[in-house]
Structure 1
Amino acid sequence: MNIQRFTAPTAREALAKARMAFGDGTLILSNRPTASGVEVVATGEDTLEALDRNEEARQKQRQAPAKTAPAVNPDSQVIEDTAQLAMSTLSFQDYVRERMLRRRHEAMAVQTTPAQQELSEPPARAAIRPTPTPVARNVSVTPDIAPIQVKKAAPRAPLAAPTAAPSQDIVDELHAMKTLIEDRFNTLTWLGQARQNPIHSNLMLKLIRSGYSPALARTIMERMPEDLNAADATRWVMDVLTRNLRTDAASSAIHEQGGTYALVGATGVGKTTTAAKLAGLCARTYGPASVGLITLDTYRVGAHEQLRAYGRMLGVVAHLAHDRAALQDLLGLLSNKKMVLIDTTGIAPNDPRKRDMMDTLDLPEIHRLLVLNAGGHGDTLDDMVNSFKTTGLQQTILSKTDEAAKIGPALDATIRHQLVLRGVTTGQKVPEDWERADASNLVAMSMRSPAKSAFDPKMTDLGFFFAESTRMQPGQLHA
């Protein structure tokens, strides 16, 4: 196997030496710092191809039925071992493992009891054993010989199985390593090209500092035209974000459209306050009799009283449903209402009660509204969206935008998961602190230069951000 070590003062020079030796199909197996610089261990793609061919030949040789079944000969074992010395270093572990298994079976055969040794003797030796009478020979020898051959052949069949699996695992790991290395080289190449263009570099840094994920930022930047100046490039990026942020701007407002909505989400994101704001908007437009309020929150102390207090302020009665049957009865009672709002218990993604609550809401007339904290961390928002994901249209509301230092992570999650944004809340006033979702205003708000933060990366840190990132799937972004 052609594996070589290259040492240079820097990693870039070591990689250059490796590429000069193996060409474009260079595979980096490892790298480590040394006293004289950086040491890189590399090989070529043809090595993997040769390993695949050798492995296929070995598997065909194992699977091919033997034409004859000769007895085990020590000389043939020596010849086999001599042939195995030509194997590659990667398959040497399989050879050692096979030898250890063979020796273990031989040791177990030596430690068998005298009776087992007598039964395991070959038929030729059993035939010449002295017997008391010819009748005894006909009764005892013949029945023993037939099962002896079956018992000796059975343990030999699976001996080749343990050697094939580890070898295939090694090949799979090498292919996975090859894919990983190619992806990393593509990322490094893309980063190198982006760094040569200061406009790309500055926009990438701005997107990351605004809270957008490396996956979305890379997908956008790879599609940006090359001939744009700084101002046009910034407008182009903001236009792409605006175009991909789905809102209900083309349809009626949610309180004008009406329907039955269940507000779901984590604890403390503002579900009860959001329900009160939507109820207030509908009551102000169509009257208090057009709104129905239901709460399923029997876990949090004072949850029902909070919604009831909002209802008294709006002139609306708030009802409490303990289970699915009570919820169905209340929905039938409030079927003549313009809008029915269901306040639910705050549930964490790993809370065992989440399944029961989602089953309770699994009714055809109920639409779910996922309430997300606009100031949440990107990973937390992703976890919440994946936890409450449903089939069909997914609608969301961003709450507490007035408390968010950056709304980029929330917009990023909305774009990547293709959620429909139905509105945003901007404070605690009911129902005044409610706004319809305006994509251009939200994107402009997210791209404003925030105050300096200890969490903001520098230009030299972009490599760490994009090293593990993968581009979005085709069709998820319209550029």
Structure 2
Amino acid sequence: MKMRRFQGSNTREVLGQIRQTLGPDAVILSNRNLAEGVEIVAAIDFDEAELTASSLAWPQVLEKNEEPAGGKGEAEMKAEPIRQELQALRALVEKRWGRQQGANSEEEPRLDQQGIKNLGFHSTLLPQLESATLEFGARDGMARVLEAQIGSLADPLGDTGIIAVLGPTGAGKTTSVAKLAAQQVLRYGPESVALFTSDTYRIAGVEQLNIYAKILGVPVEVLRGPQDLLSALQKHQQRRWIFIDTMGLSPRDERLNEQLQWLDALGESLRRFLLLPASLAEQSLDQVLQPYAKFSLTAAILSKVDEAPACGAVLEWLAAKKLPLAYLSDGQKVPEDIHALDWKCLLDAMGLHTPALAAVADSRYHEA
């Protein structure tokens, strides 16, 4: 076992010295207050027998620098409170560094309130997340809260359906439609799918979907109004799935409201998926998504997860609207980069798998 003594003006300063000198696997053996600050003894390359022996012997050296008069039994009795204190100190250090308790433990790391805020959570979910992560660990605790407050869809597309993908400009609607359509083509063949698009205002919008359709071997219908939609639905009524790529416009653009109205006229036969970029800022969420919030939505798709892992603001918006999450999209590859929701996979993407969490926590520690 390699053991060293560190001194500094406060505990945070000394913990930083330990972290820098001995690394993340260091274990605190003892601490004491000095006239000019704090002294902490830490060790690495230990085994359990050494650690137990040190926790018994070291307090006597620190306190009196001599053998206690009462013999071994008294020494062990005096050492017990010290061991409890050391265990508490060790847990504190591991919490600050975001690593697991013990090198081989499977217990999940914890996040403090600032760590949760760094993931984009700032309002309604923050107290629940903080409580749950303290009780269950970072990934498991956050997954419990998000499932309870947002929810998910077990079978978003069902056996058949008309699927419209809605969302703001630049969210990735055309690519998401292609991904979902391609998955069904791979499972059931090209005769099961048709693609519609109302995105006639964006340069090359129709051309982009036509390229995907040609690769998949499925038809494309261009919609310029409600009558085109009804005619296309009649024409392809034998298709198992119809995917509609919609235009993304400013929330103040009347053409957006018109499109939403004639899609809404389809009633329950239409499933409406709101595509949300993970990068949407808290300040702009309500304004950008206002036209869709009053629309009857089925579920959400979270896109660009790979570009904006700190997506807590979007998740809080979904919780406030009681809108479940169906899919995660994390790249441009068709059809690979869209996945049915798994909360722990999302939290991994947000940096909550153990190695990344340790790095995030360590960064927070040095910034403190």
* TM-score, with length taken from structure 2: 0.61
How far 1:353 sits from its partner (Å)?
1.9
Instruction: Provide the C-alpha distance between the structure 1 equivalents of 2:142 and 2:122, rounded to a whole number of angstroms.
Output: 14
Match for residue 247 of structure 1?
152
Query: In structure 1, which of residues 254, 257, 271 is the aligned counterpart of residue 173 of structure 2?
Result: 271
Q: Which amino acid aligns with 1:247?
A: S
Instruction: Provide the C-alpha distance between the structure 2 equivalents of 1:332 and 1:284, rounded to a whole number of angstroms.
Output: 24
How far 1:409 sits from its partner (Å)?
2.4
Match for residue 321 of structure 2?
417
Match for residue 374 of structure 1?
278
How far 1:388 sits from its partner (Å)?
0.2
Task: Confirm or deny: 8 A CA contact 1:205 1:459 kept in the other structure.
Answer: no
Task: Confirm or deny: 8 A CA contact 2:119 2:309 kept in the other structure.
Answer: no
Match for residue 436 of structure 1?
340
Q: Which amino acid aligns with 1:283?
A: V
Instruction: Provide the C-alpha distance between the structure 1 equivalents of 2:256 and 2:297, rounded to a whole number of angstroms.
Output: 20
SS of equivalent residue, structure 2 residue 124:
helix
Tell me: CA distance 1:273–1:236, structure 2 relative to 1, closer, same or farther (3 Å): closer
Residue 287 in 1 paired to residue 189 in 2?
yes
How far 1:262 sits from its partner (Å)?
1.3
Higher strand proportion (structure 1 or 2): 2
Q: Which amino acid aligns with 2:206?
A: H
Query: In structure 2, which of residues 278, 294, 310 is the aligned counterpart of residue 406 of structure 1?
Result: 310
Tell me: CA distance 1:393–1:371, structure 2 relative to 1, closer, same or farther (3 Å): closer
Q: Which amino acid aligns with 1:338?
A: R
Tell me: CA distance 1:232–1:282, structure 2 relative to 1, closer, same or farther (3 Å): closer
Instruction: Provide the C-alpha distance between the structure 2 equivalents of 1:450 and 1:426, rounded to a whole number of angstroms.
Output: 23
Deviations, residues 396-434 of structure 1 (Å, cap 9, x unaligned): 111111222423223222222221212111211111212
Task: Confirm or deny: 8 A CA contact 1:377 1:409 kept in the other structure.
Answer: yes
Matches within 5 A, 1:86-235: 203-218=112-127, 220-221=129-130, 224=131, 230=134, 232=136, 234=138, 235=140
Q: Which amino acid aligns with 1:204?
A: Q
Task: Confirm or deny: 8 A CA contact 1:272 1:343 kept in the other structure.
Answer: yes
Instruction: Provide the C-alpha distance between the structure 2 equivalents of 1:278 and 1:258, rounded to a whole number of angstroms.
Output: 13
Residue 312 in 1 paired to residue 220 in 2?
no
SS of equivalent residue, structure 2 residue 293:
coil
Instruction: Provide the C-alpha distance between the structure 1 equivalents of 2:275 and 2:144, rounded to a whole number of angstroms.
Output: 25
Task: Confirm or deny: 8 A CA contact 1:205 1:457 kept in the other structure.
Answer: no
Instruction: Provide the C-alpha distance between the structure 2 equivalents of 1:307 and 1:397, rounded to a whole number of angstroms.
Output: 19
Instruction: Provide the C-alpha distance between the structure 2 equivalents of 1:337 and 1:452, rounded to a whole number of angstroms.
Output: 48
Query: In structure 1, which of residues 312, 316, 322 is the aligned counterpart of residue 224 of structure 2?
Result: 322
Deviations, residues 372-406 of structure 1 (Å, cap 9, x unaligned): 11122123334344320246553111111122242
Q: Which runs of 5 or more structure 1 residues have no equivalent in the other structure? A: 1-197, 461-479
Instruction: Provide the C-alpha distance between the structure 1 equivalents of 2:360 and 2:250, rounded to a whole number of angstroms.
Output: 32
Instruction: Provide the C-alpha distance between the structure 2 equivalents of 1:405 and 1:202, rounded to a whole number of angstroms.
Output: 16
SS of equivalent residue, structure 1 residue 283:
helix
Tell me: CA distance 1:213–1:357, structure 2 relative to 1, closer, same or farther (3 Å): same
Task: Confirm or deny: 8 A CA contact 1:208 1:214 kept in the other structure.
Answer: no
Task: Confirm or deny: 8 A CA contact 1:297 1:344 kept in the other structure.
Answer: yes
SS of equivalent residue, structure 1 residue 416:
helix
* TM-score, with length taken from structure 1: 0.48
Tell me: CA distance 1:447–1:216, structure 2 relative to 1, closer, same or farther (3 Å): farther
Task: Confirm or deny: 8 A CA contact 1:262 1:341 kept in the other structure.
Answer: yes
How far 1:352 sits from its partner (Å)?
2.5
Match for residue 160 of structure 2?
258
Instruction: Provide the C-alpha distance between the structure 1 equivalents of 2:260 and 2:297, rounded to a whole number of angstroms.
Output: 16
Q: Which amino acid aligns with 1:245?
A: I
Task: Confirm or deny: 8 A CA contact 2:328 2:346 kept in the other structure.
Answer: no
Query: In structure 2, which of residues 300, 305, 316 is the aligned counterpart of residue 396 of structure 1?
Result: 300
Match for residue 26 of structure 2?
none
Instruction: Provide the C-alpha distance between the structure 1 equivalents of 2:170 and 2:296, rounded to a whole number of angstroms.
Output: 26
SS of equivalent residue, structure 2 residue 162:
strand
Residue 341 in 1 paired to residue 243 in 2?
yes
Tell me: CA distance 1:445–1:427, structure 2 relative to 1, closer, same or farther (3 Å): closer
Q: Which runs of 5 or more structure 2 residues have no equivalent in the other structure? A: 1-94, 97-109
Instruction: Provide the C-alpha distance between the structure 2 equivalents of 1:429 and 1:278, rounded to a whole number of angstroms.
Output: 12
Higher helix proportion (structure 1 or 2): 1
Task: Confirm or deny: 8 A CA contact 2:168 2:289 kept in the other structure.
Answer: no
Task: Confirm or deny: 8 A CA contact 1:393 1:420 kept in the other structure.
Answer: no
Instruction: Provide the C-alpha distance between the structure 2 equivalents of 1:396 and 1:437, rounded to a whole number of angstroms.
Output: 10
Cα-Cα RMSD = 3.1
How far 1:439 sits from its partner (Å)?
1.8
Larger radius of gyration: 1
Instruction: Provide the C-alpha distance between the structure 1 equivalents of 2:346 and 2:243, rounded to a whole number of angstroms.
Output: 26
Matches within 5 A, 1:23-42: none
Deviations, residues 105-155 of structure 1 (Å, cap 9, x unaligned): xxxxxxxxxxxxxxxxxxxxxxxxxxxxxxxxxxxxxxxxxxxxxxxxxxx
How far 1:459 sits from its partner (Å)?
10
